[in-house]
Structures are given as C-alpha cells and as structure tokens.
Amino acid sequence: MLFSEDKNFWLANKSVLIRRQLRYLLSELDTVVFDIDGVLIDTRGSFSQAVCDAVQFYFQHILQIRGRAQLLYLSEVRLFKMAGGFNCDRDLAEGASLFFLWKMLRFNLNTLGEIHSQQPSVRKFTQQISSGGSGLENIYNFTQRHLAPQMREKSKALFDSQLIRRLFLESYSGQLCRRVYGFEPKFFTGEGKIKNEEVIVRTELLKKQMANQNLSWGILSGRTPGEVEMALEMLGLRDYMPGEAIVTDDGRSPTKPDPTSLTELCGRLGTKVGVYVGDTIDDLRMVSNFQTHHKMVSSSSPQMEFCLCLTDHLDHRTVKMFRSQGTGLIVENVNAFLECLDSERYRNG
C-alpha cells in the first residue's frame, strides 16, 4: 500500500504520511512553496502531450520518417521525468528526440514503428541514464559515445534543437502562442494542449489557507513567466500571489534541482520552517540540495522539507524510492496537504 506506516513514517490520516521525526513540523510551519505542474494543475494532457506531439511531428514531418506509429507515449514521458534532470519539458522534448534519433542511426532504422520497437525501450534507457545524472546533456553525451564518428556528424545535422523546442511550445500554446511566448505559431495554429489542463487544487480551500497570517505562500515552477501567468489565471490566484512570491524559469537562475532559486525565495518570504510541495525527483533533489547547502553554511539556516504529491498515481516502487531519499511528507494530492494544515491537531501541535 502507498499509505502504510513503517519505522520511518507515521500515518497522520488515510492520505497523509509524515516522517516520524517531523511529526510536529506542520505546527511549526511558516512557509509553503508550491510547484504548479502535477501539484496545482494536472498537465498530463498539456505539457506531456506537447512533448509527444513535438517528437512525433519532428520525425514524421521534418525528418519525413515513414509510418504512422507513435514514437513517444505519455507514460514514457513520466519515465524521463523520474530519471531526473528534466524539470523543463522543453529539454525533455529534445532529449527524447535525441534518443529516438540515436536508435534510428545506430540500428539503421527506416520507419517510426521500427524506431519505437527497437531496444532499448524508453524504460530501459531512462533507467540507464538515471545513474549518470540524467538530463539533456547526459543524453547527448550518451548518444555521441555510442555512435560511430560518421553517424555522430549525421546526428548533429539531423538534430535541430531550436525547431524541436518551437514545436513543443506551439503544440502547448496553439493559437495562444503570441500571448504566452511572444511569437506567432507556424506549425500548430489551432487549439493548443493548454486547453487540456485541469485544476487539481480546491481553490477555495487554498484561498482559505492563504488567509492565515501565520503562513507565507510561494510558487517555484519550471514554467516560463508567460506559462505561470496562464496558470495563475486558471487557478484564480493572480490577486492572491504577489510577484515577489513567485519564481519562474526566466533564464536568469539555475533550474531544479539547483537550490539557488529556492534559497532566494525563502529569503524573500522570511522562511524559518518551510515545505516545498512537488511531484518529481528533481523537486526532491532541489530540497535535498537546499538542506545540504544550508547545513554547511549555518546551523541556524532555514529548514525546508519536501512534500510529495501522488497526483500522477506513482507506483509502489517509485514511492519507496522517494521514502528512502529524504521525503518528509507523502500526500494523496495537494488538497490532502491543505486539509492537514487545516486540522487543529496539527496547528496546535
């Protein structure tokens, strides 16, 4: 069972696990920072689908590979994310494209069906790269190492990173492309996958909690500024979340799992005891890196713990991994976390 007690975790209720040494954390909490995707908003049908669309379009219409088989599935997008290093979906679209391009050249494949079915599978590949740090750079290094010199040059000639990124952005935003990213769409001009997004958080519950003057609230997301604006509009939080409480991927700071942005945000919010609510391995690693950095700096540095949301229905093996790597709380979804905060038994210790 995903929600089962053990020597490390206490079952606060049927949908909340808390690490035993952090049992009274929520009564001492002064800061809550949210990720957006997979926490406040379900993006499996938007960002994840846009990754699949970009990869498919690139191979089918740009490289003109024959066949109609699907190259990348939504479940496989999640495998890349759980390998780590792919907090940015634009990077993930590039990384997946590199992987399929490598298979095509390495095994001299001619159709989409052959490329998808040829081993290694996405699952085996992501398991392999996760041990090497993962991320786009790691995939690039892997594919270059495992190609003959003449194939490396061909791979570089066929791989257009900027076009793949554009395909991803256009698939996601569609006719809203100019509003979100500042340019007109060329390849995906209809309704974007952004229309598939669904709100997870019970907004009224969140707004009720945000009225608590004892807590500071923030957002730290790998979304671009335009993407965050669209999310805040969808959530109805534009007037509830001041700009200084929001960190986006604006290209000025390192992204997750680097803890720099989290450190800066905690400084703005005056954090002493905080929780970052996320859903991926990069979220956990960011908090772990934050903890390591601040322990080295000062014993009086802010305390930050990680809360894992199981919005994407993670399997038992994955949850076990999160448990073993320092996760402080595990909740069914963000609403279970907010309800836990609302309970007098926690606020009163």
- The single-letter code of the amino acid at 209 is Q
- Using CA atoms, how far apart are residues 145 and 204, in angstroms rounded to an integer? 52
Residue 349 is predicted with a pLDDT of 42
Residue 6 is predicted with a pLDDT of 87
- Using CA atoms, how far apart are residues 69 and 10, in angstroms rounded to an integer? 46
Residue 345 is predicted with a pLDDT of 43
Ordered by where they begin, the domains of the chain are 9-42+197-347 (3.40.50.1000), 47-195 (no CATH)
Residue 346 is predicted with a pLDDT of 47
Q: b/e for 313-349, b at 16 or more Cβ within 10 A?
A: ebeeebbeebbeeebbbbbbbbbbbbbbbeeeebeee
Structure tokens at 322: 């999160």
Query: What torsion, rounded to 10 degrees, do the Cα atoms 10, 281, 205, 196 define?
Result: -140
Residue 4 is predicted with a pLDDT of 80
Query: What torsion, rounded to 10 degrees, do the Cα atoms 270, 273, 278, 279 define?
Result: 160
**Cis preceding linkage at 225, omega within 30:** no
- Using CA atoms, how far apart are residues 281 and 220, in angstroms rounded to an integer? 15
- Using CA atoms, how far apart are residues 221 and 51, in angstroms rounded to an integer? 18
Residue 131 is predicted with a pLDDT of 59
Phi, psi (degrees; rounded to nearest 5) at 246: -120, 130
Contacts of 72 (CB under 8 A, 6+ apart): 51, 52, 55, 56, 96, 100, 122
- Using CA atoms, how far apart are residues 59 and 113, in angstroms rounded to an integer? 12
- Using CA atoms, how far apart are residues 94 and 262, in angstroms rounded to an integer? 26
Interior angle at CA 289, CA 241 and CA 96, nearest 5? 85
- Using CA atoms, how far apart are residues 121 and 156, in angstroms rounded to an integer? 22
Phi, psi (degrees; rounded to nearest 5) at 154: -65, -40
Phi, psi (degrees; rounded to nearest 5) at 278: -140, -170
Residue 251 is predicted with a pLDDT of 84
Contacts of 240 (CB under 8 A, 6+ apart): 207, 210, 217
Average pLDDT by consecutive 10-residue portion of the chain (349 residues)?
82 91 91 96 95 98 97 94 88 97 97 97 90 78 91 95 98 98 97 97 94 92 96 94 93 88 95 95 94 76 93 75 92 94 55
Write out the E strands in 29-79: 31-34, 41-42
pTM equals 0.90
Phi, psi (degrees; rounded to nearest 5) at 101: -65, -40
